[in-house]
A and B are shown apart, each in its own frame.
Chain A
Amino acid sequence: MDLTFTPAEEAFRAEAREWLEANVPVGLPSGDTAEGFALHVEWEKKLFEAGWSVVSWPEEFGGRGASLWEWLIFEEEYYRVGGPQRVTQNGIFLLAPTIFEYGTDEQKARFLPRMASADDLWCQGWSEPDAGSDLAGIKSRATRDDERGGWVINGQKTWTTRGAFCNWVFGLFRTDPEAARHSGMTYLMVPLDASGVTVRGVERLDGDEGFAEVFFDDVFVADDLVLGGVNEGWGVAMATTSSERGLTLRSPGRFCAAADRLVDLWKRQAAAGEHPERIDSLRSDVAQSWMEAEAYRLATLADVTGLVNGVSQGARSSLTKIFWSELDVKLNETALRLLGPAAELIETSAGAVDGGAWMKGFEFALSGPIYAGTNEIQRNVVAERVLGLPRK
């Protein structure tokens, strides 16, 4: 057991820290509005130019071939200096691992570099009006078109995060309606500027236009936009959702940085001297949130040790998803209680503490137990696939 990083890894950390401290933008507006999104894309391009957008990818695709440990270090430093949420995340963290695993060489060359450079911006197309937790119940169809060599899509996707601002969507479409529920689906990548695609933004709980509905009316996609095999989409999609639940989407650096900011908020509130009883009564809650972020960091170190030794997390990624999503809610709730009557003020209010970031963070955190498979579904997965309880 050795919980230290090597001198080379520490040098990598120092290099990342130096660049990030000099370049991370402060006070970017939310990336879930049209104007905020554009500013975030500018930042992502700057990250890419400096070689920091996808550190763990091979150099030929725009990365720097960093190890998983170095990726974790980069994430720690990124969030420590207050780096903004990555609006490229659905591409670089979710689709990319799936392309690395299932993509053809042509697909890798075509999609990965443009994803890394934020020239292509990807959203996910899983949920449909009648298929949420029951993802295998999707109805959007892709029908074979032999003449043109591809597929014709009809149907609707919904809750597509940042769909109104992206130019590509990936997701599952039913290609064999006769097949059993989990068969007969194919994983397709669809340009949102294709003829027949309509995108309608939907305002989220926090007031941003972060959601979208995507309608497909006779949309043609060529065969080279199929990821993995035809009718084998379910297995391919499971690789993406496993990334979404686990390590790649939500690295511990993000939560550790938030926990440190919570400790800092407690100290500022205590120093301000108002409502000392309330501040004092929240000491243990602040400590608990800090420890949960630290526990997530430690669990990740154990998981990555397993990964570099060839042991995959498997269904245990569902435990990870439950833990980080619920700790994020608790952490932000604790911050709001520290703020007391100021908690309700949002970013457009002059009196908001920290620019209303805590209410924004709370509202965002509330989506965590819902997206990427609700925590109820995750608990079923834990019971059935980690503990071995019967499905029925």
Chain B
Amino acid sequence: MNFAFTDDQLLFRDAVAEFFANECPPEKVRWSWDDEVGRDESIWAALAEMGVIGLTVPEAFGGMGMNEIDLLPILTEAGRYAYPGPLVETVAVVAPLLAESAPAAIAEKWLPGIAEGSVIATVQLDGQPFVNDMHIANLLIAQRGEQLFAIPAEHVRSTPQVSVDGARRLFSVEWDEADAELIVSGEAALQAVNRAFDRGAAATAAQLIGLSEQMIAMTVAYVVDRKQFGVPIGSFQAVKHHLADAELKVSFARPAVWAAAYGLANSSADVDREVSMAKCFASDAAEVVARKALQTHGAIGYTTEHDLHFWLKRSWALASSWGDAAWHRRRVAHLLLDA
């Protein structure tokens, strides 16, 4: 038993965190809101150079051949810095799906490009109405019933949808099977979809942990600095208890997310339950932390001039992506009670 990351895993994570600190400060998140495309190609290229984009691509296709235990701590850092690019879609979901389930020709066509950063992939499973980052994607992986398809972006017709998180880019999409390549069908496709969904949910949960930790850090800094009645507001018990509740939620969501990473990497028999517990706890935590952070900031937090709203809105969006807390709680209930 050793419920911890290796030094190498932590070094990789810290290197990515340092990169985001330098290249994705709050001003960059604000730029993502204001810019039409909202994605900095140089960040994606640098992440590919560091091995982040190809992290889950097998070595035979030019990637790092690593797994969720390596990836999820890095996605926590992406969440901490509110980085808006499609890491969950490309790295956590599509690359492992192609490596595991696609015929050799399709895998060879797309995976090396993903690893080197020239192919951005996004995904739509049944039940997911919108696609992230279709505007910059080269490849869409989409489910249609018991079939999974690869569709080159030029054959996808997309209509923007506007998220409360202005840094997100969502689209409704249409495409024709004539333009799509079949990846897998039947029972094998449903299994691949289930694994893909679990991976997306766990990866999103990891981002929510980072978002939550950052909201707590911002709020702590604010209440230590902000004075009322002649003292820092952080000295008031009501404020302390808001922040203690926030820390409590994140502290017990975090190990659930790491356990889900372990379950995915080791194909645990209970991986569906482990992932749903992680996403349920991470979504609940982020929603509580966001409320506490806003309440504790007071009116300044209720403006778009302050940076806090970037984190609030990303939290709201991700809390309900890849299954919200209630959906995942029902899934756990089903697995526990109907067996």
Q: Which residues of A contact B (CB under 8 A)?
A: 1-6, 9, 69, 263, 266-267, 270, 283-284, 286-288, 290-292, 294-296, 298-299, 301-302, 304-306, 309, 316, 319, 322-323, 376, 378-380, 382-384, 386-392
Chain B residues within an 8 Å CB radius of A376: 237, 241
20 contacts between A and B (CB under 8 A): A1-B2, A2-B1, A3-B259, A5-B1, A9-B1, A266-B337, A287-B332, A288-B329, A290-B336, A291-B281, A301-B3, A319-B252, A379-B240, A380-B241, A382-B243, A382-B244, A382-B248, A383-B234, A388-B224, A392-B231
A33 to chain B, nearest CB (A): 35
Q: Are B251 and A319 closer than 8 Å at their CB atoms?
A: yes
B111 within 8 A of A: no
Q: Are B245 and A305 closer than 8 Å at their CB atoms?
A: no
A310 to chain B, nearest CB (A): 12
Q: Are A390 and B234 closer than 8 Å at their CB atoms?
A: yes
Q: Which residues of B contact A (CB under 8 A)?
A: 1-6, 69, 216, 220, 223-224, 231-232, 234-235, 237, 239-241, 243-245, 247-248, 251-253, 255-256, 258-259, 261-262, 277, 280-281, 326, 329-330, 332-333, 336-337
A295 contact from B5, B6, B247, B281, Cβ within 8 A = B281
Q: Are B247 and A386 closer than 8 Å at their CB atoms?
A: yes
**Alpha-carbon separation in the docked complex, A212 to B268 (Å):** 49
Q: Are A302 and B237 closer than 8 Å at their CB atoms?
A: no
Chain A residues within an 8 Å CB radius of B262: 1, 3
**Alpha-carbon separation in the docked complex, A383 to B296 (Å):** 13
**Alpha-carbon separation in the docked complex, A283 to B234 (Å):** 39
Chain A residues within an 8 Å CB radius of B256: 291, 294-295, 298
Q: Are B330 and A284 closer than 8 Å at their CB atoms?
A: yes
A294 contact from B234, B237, B277, Cβ within 8 A = B277
Chain A residues within an 8 Å CB radius of B337: 263, 266-267, 270, 283, 286-287
Q: Are A322 and B248 closer than 8 Å at their CB atoms?
A: yes
Chain A residues within an 8 Å CB radius of B261: 1
Q: Are A1 and B4 closer than 8 Å at their CB atoms?
A: yes
Q: Which residue of A lies closest to B326 (CB)?
A: A284
A102 to chain B, nearest CB (A): 29
Q: Are A283 and B330 closer than 8 Å at their CB atoms?
A: yes
Interface centre among A270, A298, A390 (most CB of B within 10 A): A298
Chain A residues within an 8 Å CB radius of B329: 284, 287-288, 291
B243 contact from A3, A284, A301, A389, Cβ within 8 A = A389
Q: Are A305 and B247 closer than 8 Å at their CB atoms?
A: no
A299 contact from B231, B232, B255, Cβ within 8 A = B255
Chain A residues within an 8 Å CB radius of B237: 376, 380
A11 to chain B, nearest CB (A): 15
Q: Is the contact region of chain A dominated by helix, strand, or loop, or is it mixed?
A: helix
Chain B residues within an 8 Å CB radius of A389: 220, 223-224, 232, 234-235, 239-240, 243
**Alpha-carbon separation in the docked complex, A304 to B3 (Å):** 8
Chain B residues within an 8 Å CB radius of A69: 1
A290 contact from B69, B220, B247, B332, Cβ within 8 A = B332
Chain B residues within an 8 Å CB radius of A391: 235
6 tightest Cβ-Cβ pairs between the two chains A and B: A383-B240, A379-B244, A287-B333, A298-B255, A382-B244, A389-B234
Chain B residues within an 8 Å CB radius of A302: 3-4, 255, 258
Q: Are A379 and B1 closer than 8 Å at their CB atoms?
A: no
Chain A residues within an 8 Å CB radius of B252: 292, 295-296, 299, 319, 323
Q: Are A286 and B336 closer than 8 Å at their CB atoms?
A: yes
A172 to chain B, nearest CB (A): 25
Q: Are A387 and B247 closer than 8 Å at their CB atoms?
A: yes
Q: Are A384 and B240 closer than 8 Å at their CB atoms?
A: yes
**Alpha-carbon separation in the docked complex, A335 to B213 (Å):** 33
Given A295-B281, A301-B1: A383 touches B244 (CB 8 Å cut-off): yes
Given A267-B337, A323-B248: A295 touches B235 (CB 8 Å cut-off): no
Chain B residues within an 8 Å CB radius of A292: 252
Q: Are A291 and B280 closer than 8 Å at their CB atoms?
A: yes
B330 to chain A, nearest CB (A): 6
A7 to chain B, nearest CB (A): 13
Chain B residues within an 8 Å CB radius of A298: 3, 255-256, 258-259
A263 contact from B224, B244, B248, B336, Cβ within 8 A = B336
Beyond the given pairs A284-B333, A391-B235, A392-B235, 16 more chain A to chain B contacts, judged by CB atoms under 8 angstroms and listed by A's residue number, are A1-B69, A5-B1, A267-B337, A283-B330, A286-B336, A288-B329, A291-B256, A291-B280, A292-B252, A301-B1, A301-B3, A378-B244, A382-B244, A387-B216, A387-B243, A390-B234
**Alpha-carbon separation in the docked complex, A270 to B5 (Å):** 42
Q: Are A295 and B220 closer than 8 Å at their CB atoms?
A: no
Q: Which residue of A lies closest to B261 (CB)?
A: A1
Interface centre among B216, B234, B244, B337 (most CB of A within 10 A): B244
Chain A residues within an 8 Å CB radius of B332: 287, 290-291
Q: Are B234 and A2 closer than 8 Å at their CB atoms?
A: no
Q: Are A1 and B3 closer than 8 Å at their CB atoms?
A: yes
**Alpha-carbon separation in the docked complex, A288 to B280 (Å):** 9
Q: Which residue of A lies closest to B265 (CB)?
A: A1
A56 to chain B, nearest CB (A): 15
Q: Which residue of B lies closest to A287 (CB)?
A: B333
Q: Which residue of A lies closest to B246 (CB)?
A: A387
**Alpha-carbon separation in the docked complex, A117 to B234 (Å):** 48
Q: Are A305 and B4 closer than 8 Å at their CB atoms?
A: yes
B335 to chain A, nearest CB (A): 9
Chain B residues within an 8 Å CB radius of A322: 244, 248
Chain A residues within an 8 Å CB radius of B259: 3, 298
Q: Which residue of A lies closest to B9 (CB)?
A: A1
**Alpha-carbon separation in the docked complex, A380 to B2 (Å):** 31
B128 to chain A, nearest CB (A): 22
**Alpha-carbon separation in the docked complex, A301 to B3 (Å):** 6
Q: Which residue of A lies closest to B221 (CB)?
A: A388
Interface centre among B224, B248, B259 (most CB of A within 10 A): B248
Given A284-B329, A287-B329, A390-B232: A295 touches B255 (CB 8 Å cut-off): yes
Chain A residues within an 8 Å CB radius of B336: 263, 286-287, 290
**Alpha-carbon separation in the docked complex, A298 to B248 (Å):** 14
Chain B residues within an 8 Å CB radius of A306: 4
**Alpha-carbon separation in the docked complex, A90 to B100 (Å):** 54
Q: Which residue of B lies closest to A299 (CB)?
A: B255
**Alpha-carbon separation in the docked complex, A18 to B256 (Å):** 31
**Alpha-carbon separation in the docked complex, A244 to B326 (Å):** 34
Chain B residues within an 8 Å CB radius of A286: 333, 336-337
**Alpha-carbon separation in the docked complex, A283 to B251 (Å):** 25
